């Protein structure tokens, strides 16, 4: 069985949905499972709904209506008959969303986030499934929450692999075209959970692992894995073949094409991963598989914007030793900070983090009780794999360097 993952950009409008059909007809769709993200920027719009629910109730209804209007526009282009059952089904999902917000009593932001944001994927897969059926492509819509079971660490849930394996083995018919949602799961109480932002790639890998799939293909609006993000770097080159190890390194450092958690399940069973263009589906793209390394090893550039650099030093000029470092990492863990770079000396410790849960203010307050603290917000973290002097010089030109670190052939630079 093959696993195909289509992200939000591939289904951002009616033409995108029709192009998914074109891709399927080009490459075939028998014995295939589609993992589909929310349409376009729906997840961002749903995050605004959550924010309004907690902070701006007057704007809550209008933010929901914005999401509904967007999807209705797509529906009207795909289904001319407004009595088509898909309209009733999508209306039902929005009614379910409103019902949850009306009856919810939990003050837990992350819990509410997962229950609300998940409707993006439920709606997108519903629309795609009905459209495929309408044009004669039989398919089975699966609620991924019945298959991927997780803990209750909302917004970044951990997978219960044993339960998930059993559910997928017993519940997925490999002979059919199946459609399911990326990013989502459910806990032991059947509350919806999410696997972390951009987690649909990981969903595809979970199904591939449990189904012993022949391959996973991630369909993107780029030709494959590039050595640099073309939004920030000129003359990006396609990497035709890379090893799991290299891909894991690139994903760990922040390459946006592949979700960091995606590769481990695939590597365990040596399932190849293809990253291909949904615009040119016949192009080869990039293949990630066993034992194939970059040759030659050209520099690969990764940038993460909007990071935070925190520099700490002891209040009494004492050494930053194991006890201090242990305290620092516990506070970072409690604040759910994603640590990207650390650097320490005898009396100082610097860490570059991703403040994705907006806990920075609380973290700094706790750190200032124990350390002298300097904080630089909205910095950029550049990572160069297979770095050479020419690549580093080009990267550093005209930038204020706050931190620089080199490990073998990987260089990381924090700038503002």
pLDDT, tens digit, 9 for 90 and up, residues 128-143:
999 999 999 999 999 9
* Cβ partners under 8 Å of residue 118, min gap 6: 181, 183, 184, 192, 194
Helix (H, G, I), strand (E, B) or coil at 330: helix
Residue 253 CB neighbours (<10 A): 21
**Per-residue pLDDT at 91 exceeds 70:** yes
Which residues in the chain are classed under CATH 3.30.2130.10? 300-415
pLDDT confidence of 296, banded at 50, 70, 90? low
Q: In Å, how far are 323, 324, 349, 376 from 319, measured between CA atoms?
A: 10, 9, 10, 23
- Across the range 55-63, mean pLDDT stands at 97
Query: What element of type H or E holds 202?
Result: helix 200-211
pLDDT at 307: 97
Q: Side-chain half-sphere of 350: how many Cα atoms within 13 Å?
A: 16
* Cβ partners under 8 Å of residue 4, min gap 6: 24, 32, 33, 34, 35, 204, 216, 217, 219
DSSP string, 21-84: HHHHHHH--TTEEEEE--STTHHHHHHHHHHHHHH-GGGHHHHHHHHHHHHHHHHHHH-S-TTS
**Per-residue pLDDT at 162 exceeds 60:** yes
DSSP state of 144: G
pLDDT confidence of 160, banded at 50, 70, 90? very high
- Across the range 165-173, mean pLDDT stands at 97
pLDDT, tens digit, 9 for 90 and up, residues 175-202:
999 999 999 999 999 999 999 877 899 9
CA distance 113 to 90: 20
Main-chain dihedrals φ then ψ at residue 303, nearest 5 degrees: -130, 135
CATH code for the domain defined by 300-415? 3.30.2130.10
pLDDT confidence of 323, banded at 50, 70, 90? confident
pLDDT at 320: 87
pLDDT at 356: 86
Residue 204 CB neighbours (<10 A): 28
**Per-residue pLDDT at 277 exceeds 90:** yes
pLDDT, tens digit, 9 for 90 and up, residues 217-233:
999 999 999 999 888 88
CATH code for the domain defined by 2-213? 3.40.1160.10
- Across the range 74-81, mean pLDDT stands at 97
Query: Annotated binding residue at 25?
Result: no
**Per-residue pLDDT at 262 exceeds 70:** yes
pLDDT at 291: 78
pLDDT at 87: 98
Query: Annotated binding residue at 231?
Result: yes
pLDDT at 92: 98
Per the confidence metrics, is the pTM higher than 0.75?
A: yes
Contact yes or no for 408/384 (Cβ under 8 A)? no
Taking all residues of the chain, what is their mean pLDDT, rounded to a whole number? 94
pLDDT at 293: 63
Please name which of 46, 36, 38, 40 lies closest in space to residue 12, comparing C-alpha atoms: 40
**Per-residue pLDDT at 234 exceeds 90:** no
pLDDT at 363: 95
**Per-residue pLDDT at 306 exceeds 80:** yes
Q: Which residues pair with 289 in a beta bridge?
A: 243
Please name which of 28, 42, 11 lies closest in space to residue 219, comparing C-alpha atoms: 11
Q: In Å, how far are 34, 53, 60, 256, 342 from 247, measured between CA atoms?
A: 22, 39, 41, 11, 22
The pairing of beta strand 2-6 with beta strand 215-220: parallel
Which residues in the chain are classed under CATH 3.40.1160.10? 2-213
Helix (H, G, I), strand (E, B) or coil at 327: helix
* Cβ partners under 8 Å of residue 109, min gap 6: 50, 54
Beta strands in 258-362 (DSSP E): 273-277, 286-289, 300-314, 338-344, 348-354
Contact yes or no for 152/193 (Cβ under 8 A)? yes
């Amino acid at each position: 069985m093959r696993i195909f993952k289509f992200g939000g950009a591939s289904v951002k409008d009616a033409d995108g949905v029709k192009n998914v059909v074109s891709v399927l007809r080009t490459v075939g769709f028998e014995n295939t499972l589609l993992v589909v993200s929310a349409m376009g920027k729906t997840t961002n719009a749903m995050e605004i709904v959550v924010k309004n629910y907690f902070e701006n109730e007057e704007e809550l209804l209008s933010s929901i209506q914005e999401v509904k209007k967007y999807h209705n526009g797509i529906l009207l282009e795909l289904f001319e008959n407004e009595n088509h059952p898909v309209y009733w089904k999508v209306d039902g999902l929005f009614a379910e969303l409103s019902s949850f917000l009306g009856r919810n009593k939990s003050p837990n932001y992350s819990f509410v986030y997962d229950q609300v944001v998940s409707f993006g994927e439920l709606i997108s897969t519903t629309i795609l499934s009905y459209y495929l059926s309408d044009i004669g492509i039989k398919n089975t819509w699966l609620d991924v929450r019945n298959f991927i079971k997780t803990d209750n660490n909302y917004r970044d849930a951990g997978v219960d692999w044993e339960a998930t394996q059993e559910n997928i083995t017993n519940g997925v018919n490999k002979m059919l075209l199946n459609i399911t949602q990326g990013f989502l799961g459910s806990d032991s109480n059947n509350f919806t959970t999410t696997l972390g932002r951009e987690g649909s790639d990981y969903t595809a890998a979970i199904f591939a692992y449990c189904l012993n799939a022949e391959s996973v293909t991630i369909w993107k609006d780029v030709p494959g894995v590039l050595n640099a993000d073309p939004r920030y770097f000129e003359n990006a080159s396609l990497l035709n073949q890379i090893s799991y190890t290299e891909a894991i390194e690139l994903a760990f450092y922040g390459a946006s094409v592949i979700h960091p958690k995606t590769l481990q399940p695939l590597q365990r069973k040596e399932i190849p991963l293809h990253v291909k263009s949904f615009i040119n589906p016949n192009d080869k793209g990039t293949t990630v598989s066993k034992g194939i390394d970059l040759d030659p090893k050209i520099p690969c550039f990764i940038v993460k914007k909007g990071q935070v650099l925190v520099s700490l030093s002891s209040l009494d000029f004492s050494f930053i030793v194991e006890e201090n470092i242990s305290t620092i990492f516990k506070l970072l863990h409690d604040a759910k900070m994603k640590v990207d770079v650390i650097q320490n000396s005898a009396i100082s410790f610097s860490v570059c983090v991703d403040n994705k849960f907006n806990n920075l203010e609380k973290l700094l307050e706790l750190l200032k009780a124990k350390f002298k603290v300097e904080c630089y917000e909205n910095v950029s973290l550049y990572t160069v794999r297979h770095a050479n002097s020419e690549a580093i010089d080009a990267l550093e030109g005209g930038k204020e360097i706050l931190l620089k670190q080199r490990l073998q052939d990987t260089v990381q630079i924090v700038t503002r």
